[in-house]
Amino acid sequence: MQNNFLIAIFIFFISFLQYSCVPNNRSKRITIASSGKIESLDPARASTLKSLQLLSSLGDTLYELNSEGDLIPQLASGMPILSKDKLQITINIRRNVLFHDGTPFNAKAIKFSFDRFKRIGTMNYILGNKIKSIETPSEYKLLINLNKPSSSVKGLLTAINLTPISPTFYKDYSDKFLNDKFVGTGKYILKRFSNEIQIIDPNLNYWGKKPNNEGVNFIGYSNSSSLFGALKSRQIDVLLSNSIDDSQRNNLNSLSKKNDIKEGNSPAIEISFISLRTNSYPFNNRSVRLAIAKSLNRQLISDKVSYGLRQPSRSLVPPILKKSKQGLWPEYDPIEAKNLLEKEGFCNGNILKLPLTFRSNVPSDKLIALTWQEDIKNILKECISIQLNGVESTTIYKNLNLGIYTAVILDWTGAYSDPEAYLTPLLSCSELDGESCKKGESVYSGSFWASSNVQKLFLESEKLNGDKRLAKLIEIEIIASKSVPYIPIWISSQKAWSQNEVSKPIFNGAGIISMSDLKFINE
Amino acid sequence: MSRDFIKILNYSLLKISLIPLMLWIISTLVFILLRVAPGDPVDAILGSGANEASRELLRYKLGLNESLLSQYLTFINNILHLNFGESLSTQEPVLNIILKSLPASLELGIFSIFFAILIGFPLGFLGIRNKGKRGDYIARVISISSYAIPPFWGAMLVQLILSVYLRIFPIGGRFPIIHSQPHITGFLVIDSLLDNNLTYLKDSLYHLALPSLTLGFLLSGIFSRSLRINLDKTIKSDYVNAALTRGIARRKIILNHALPNALLPIITISGLTIASLAGGALLFEVTFSWPGIALRLYEAISQRDYNVVQGIVIITSLLIVSLNLFVDIFIALLDPRIEY
């Protein structure tokens, strides 16, 4: 009798709680979950993919890159026009566009946003020294004056960090960040913001195509298991994968193959690679670097670590940006690797000891390192011995330019959609000493590699456009691939999964999901 | 009476006078340890892609280019003025961050302790009542299992079963996405009551239920085992035997005499348990995406956000020290045998 009473109380309690949670009237709002939180919605501060993702729905850039890698005007009314001396870009601006606060969008707003980013932007280094000034000769015309010819500036015009914001609303924040509000021109208006949850509603005054849904609830969970569980238990409509574990990716991929959910993929834009310190033993020897590159079984690593979901890559530039899938870096060839090492006096009792550092807080890095170590034990045991060293990522970034790491696993996503955004941060050098870099980007990537030829080609590429420029950039990559300061491992794409009653997630060329295209398909 | 009161007052004042010293030691240690750790906020914010000029500029903006002594003196001076500074990564005042996240952790902690007692005490009584019998063994197995289970594993398991497969509870978070949570005290259950909103109350309880029940269960073993052992020891004492031989009912002896004595060590254990929750709840907050102070601390450490880490550690230390002081004084008041 007493037990029955207790059971009845328990059932009542659960029912009471359940009543409050079951969605009693399903709205047409889409709930999207991804990992982590958003600390800032200020374009000058935002640096995480998640915050950029949300900003891309709340604001528009001058241009966008479509999934084929072509530049599409957004707030610009046409393609950029380059002057004959290649030192000035003219952009005509779209008319009749309003900011979310009702103020008109014009060229001055772009200048305000650009200057603010240049002044306080956390990632303002992406501008380099390319842009001299911005002029606004008329309300809807923008002139960008360059310090030197720079064709890569066009790629910068797609950068979400340069999303125009309302000068009126940000009047008091021209020199400081405004983290929890955003007033741009985008398809959605920010309704509510907290670090964990963001609610956005359609912008009824939007100049272009209106969103397909009645708004988006954007939620952050702090771990991969919760994200996976939330989609499986149908507590969310869409899951964005920016840091979900590979085993869960694989599970979701299987579910999508069984048509239990839908899977959307962005073009592959995130490269993972090993940086080799080329200015000291043993990697100051090109043959040793080449041998190591040939000992890396990318397909095995992809299969074992990512279940084949991450594409093995022999290039530092994503295929979408160089319009080719051609791999330039050395192929896996353990026999050739052994021959090269033998020529350099290794093997036969002299084992090359390779200290490999990986980011301990990135699970896939550790698995890459372990897989490679095991594979080497199987095939090149008498020549190479890999010693693993896990270090937290922040510590690695701090120490990279100090030359502490002989070989370290890293990844990179270009700040804007251009091959140059991948090659410059890894290969450029401002102060060379033969094949060693004393000062420059390659120092900060831990390779210390330099080539005067590459620097010359970088300068030449800035004066070119289109296919000619691309050819120069590919030439740079060919030179680097022969010298092997890095070993590309794989290239990853963003993935998103949606419930079957929601449309398939669509990405643009920069790996950003189009929230406005998401809708319930039985509407 | 008044003599005892003066003694307790002296004892309390002595303990209170030590708090600033303890906080100074803790804050200095945190300051030094954070700077000794490799990497700084600039590396965490900019990653590996930025050049040296950008790094130097950001370091200058954040005030990290000043000497360590200068940074330390500024830090101590600010603390004396109850100014914890601004987050290095978001520029949000650290006090705001703490005030936003601390109630979430306290709410989870309080409900967890409540459930721990609710589960632990009956198990302890069950054991003592059926000493050496099946009930005792069952209670013992449950209790030992509860603190033998690694918290992160236990949390993930219940989340998987009750949220993912059975879909009884939400997967994480503190409040439904669609509703704006009330902001009065930061304690959502209290805020819902103050707001007189039954739906919000149900929503907040519904989100709180799984993490607090799970954490409560995992903590319950300490309470049940302590109660079982201490009560058993007290029941065997001479004064209980004397009371029994005088014909006083066993139930009355246990409730009126043995239990209050057996509870004294449990009060100490409760204080220590609550203190340990400050760090121990971290894995729970991560698993259940609970926006509490432990999760904030974890994020701030990985971002090398010195000001946030320092602020959270100092406030948490203050809470723990105050709680221990309260427990000490409370026990001194309850137990006449304690000399002070």
Measured in Å, how far apart are chain A's first and last C-alpha atoms?
50
Average pLDDT over residues A213-217: 94
- In angstroms, rounded to a whole number, what is the distance separating the alpha carbons of residues A230 and A233? 5
Average pLDDT over chain B, rounded to an integer: 86
State the smallest CA–CA distance between residue A427 and chain B in angstroms: 12
Q: Is residue A55 part of a domain?
A: no
State the smallest CA–CA distance between residue A261 and chain B in angstroms: 16
- What does the pLDDT look like over B175-191, one tens digit per residue? 887 777 778 888 999 99
Select the residue from A3, A19, A51, A226 to test the B interface by mutation, using most B Cβ atoms within 10 A: A226
Tally Cβ neighbours within 10 Å of residue A259. 8
Q: How many CB pairs under 8 A join A and B?
A: 142
- What does the pLDDT look like over A392-433, one tens digit per residue? 888 898 888 889 999 999 999 887 778 988 999 899 998 998
Average pLDDT over residues A29-50: 89
With CA atoms as reference, the chain A residue closest to B42 would be A398
Is residue A165 domain-shared with residue A86, that is, in the same domain?
yes
Q: Are A180 and A171 in contact (CB under 8 A)?
A: no
Q: Are B115 and B217 in contact (CB under 8 A)?
A: yes
Domain of A250: which CATH number? 3.40.190.10
Last residue of a domain, one of A178, A208, A231: A178
Last residue of a domain, one of A153, A178, A203: A178
* DSSP label at residue B161: I
* pTM (two decimals): 0.83
- Identify which of B49, B160, B163 has the shortest CB distance to residue A425: B49
Closest CA to A23 of A255, A235, A216, A190: A235
Last residue of a domain, one of A117, A143, A178: A178
Is residue A466 domain-shared with residue A388, that is, in the same domain?
yes
Partner residues linked to A262 by β-bridges: A498
Q: What region does A115 belong to: left with phi over 0, alpha with psi -120 to 50, or beta?
A: alpha
Confidence band of B116 (pLDDT split at 50, 70, 90) = very high
- What does the pLDDT look like over B64-91, one tens digit per residue? 888 889 889 988 998 888 888 888 877 7
Is residue A323 domain-shared with residue A388, that is, in the same domain?
yes
Q: Are A23 and A31 in contact (CB under 8 A)?
A: no
In chain A, the number of structural domains is 3
DSSP string, A329-381: SPPP-HHHHHHHHHHTT-BTTBPEEEEEEEETT-HHHHHHHHHHHHHHHHHST
- In angstroms, rounded to a whole number, what is the distance separating the alpha carbons of residues B120 and B221? 6
- Identify which of A14, A394, A445 has the shortest CB distance to residue B168: A14
* DSSP label at residue B91: -
Asked if the model's pLDDT at residue B274 lies above 80, the reply is no
Asked if the model's pLDDT at residue B282 lies above 80, the reply is no
Confidence band of A15 (pLDDT split at 50, 70, 90) = low
Q: Is residue A47 part of a domain?
A: no
Residue A109 in tokens = 């707003």
Residue contact A394–B302, C-beta within 8 A: yes
Select the residue from A25, A198, A225 to test the B interface by mutation, using most B Cβ atoms within 10 A: A225
Q: Is residue A300 part of a domain?
A: yes
- Identify which of B51, B164, B287 has the shortest CB distance to residue A444: B51
pLDDT of residue A57: 94
State the smallest CA–CA distance between residue A7 and chain B in angstroms: 16
Is residue A446 domain-shared with residue A302, that is, in the same domain?
yes
Tally Cβ neighbours within 10 Å of residue A74. 21
- What does the pLDDT look like over B19-51, one tens digit per residue? 889 889 999 999 998 888 777 788 777 766 666
Partner residues linked to A188 by β-bridges: A202
Is residue A232 domain-shared with residue A272, that is, in the same domain?
no
Q: Is residue A447 part of a domain?
A: yes
Q: Percentage of residues in chain B with pLDDT exceeding 70?
A: 96
- Those residues whose C-beta lies under 8 Å from the C-beta of residue A127, and which sit 6 or more positions away, are A117, A118, A156
Q: Are A33 and A239 in contact (CB under 8 A)?
A: yes
Asked if the model's pLDDT at residue B7 lies above 70, the reply is yes
Confidence band of A491 (pLDDT split at 50, 70, 90) = very high
- What does the pLDDT look like over A17-28, one tens digit per residue? 554 444 444 568
Is residue A106 domain-shared with residue A78, that is, in the same domain?
yes
State the smallest CA–CA distance between residue B133 and chain A in angstroms: 21
State the smallest CA–CA distance between residue A247 and chain B in angstroms: 16
Domain of A97: which CATH number? 3.90.76.10
Average pLDDT over residues B106-135: 91
Within 8 A of B171 by CB-CB distance, chain A residues are: 221, 226, 229-230, 233, 235
Is residue A9 domain-shared with residue A135, that is, in the same domain?
no
Q: Are A348 and A314 in contact (CB under 8 A)?
A: no
Residue numbers of the domain that contains A289: 268-493
HSE value, Cβ hemisphere, 13 Å, CA-based, for A114: 23
* DSSP label at residue A263: E
Is residue A364 domain-shared with residue A467, that is, in the same domain?
yes
- What does the pLDDT look like over A338-379, one tens digit per residue? 999 999 999 988 999 999 999 998 889 999 999 999 999 999
pLDDT of residue A21: 47
State the smallest CA–CA distance between residue A8 and chain B in angstroms: 17
Asked if the model's pLDDT at residue B293 lies above 50, the reply is yes
User: B339 or A101: whose pLDDT is higher?
Assistant: A101
Average pLDDT over chain A, rounded to an integer: 89
Residue contact B206–A21, C-beta within 8 A: yes
Residue contact A394–B206, C-beta within 8 A: no
- What does the pLDDT look like over B191-222, one tens digit per residue? 999 988 888 899 999 999 999 999 999 999 98
Helices B293-302, B94-129: inter-axial angle, 10-degree rounding: 130
- Identify which of A192, A222, A395 has the shortest CB distance to residue B38: A395
Q: Is residue A54 part of a domain?
A: no
State the smallest CA–CA distance between residue A65 and chain B in angstroms: 22
Residue A192 in tokens = 């509510």
Average pLDDT over residues B241-259: 87
Measured in Å, how far apart are chain B's first and last C-alpha atoms?
15
- In angstroms, rounded to a whole number, what is the distance separating the alpha carbons of residues B92 and B80? 20
DSSP string, B236-271: TSHHHHHHHHTT--HHHHIIIIIHHHHHHHHHHHHH
Select the residue from B119, B162, B164, B302 to test the A interface by mutation, using most A Cβ atoms within 10 A: B164
pLDDT of residue B271: 79
Is residue A281 domain-shared with residue A145, that is, in the same domain?
no
Match 């698993």 to its residue by tokens: B287
Average pLDDT over residues B48-61: 73
With CA atoms as reference, the chain B residue closest to A411 would be B48
Is residue A211 domain-shared with residue A310, that is, in the same domain?
no
With CA atoms as reference, the chain B residue closest to A229 would be B164
Is residue A28 domain-shared with residue A156, that is, in the same domain?
no
- Identify which of A229, A412, A425 has the shortest CB distance to residue B171: A229
Is residue A132 domain-shared with residue A221, that is, in the same domain?
no
- Identify which of B171, B287, B304 has the shortest CB distance to residue A235: B171
Longest dimension (CA), chain B: 86
- Identify which of B203, B289, B291 has the shortest CB distance to residue A20: B203
Select the residue from A196, A273, A428 to test the B interface by mutation, using most B Cβ atoms within 10 A: A196
pLDDT of residue B327: 85
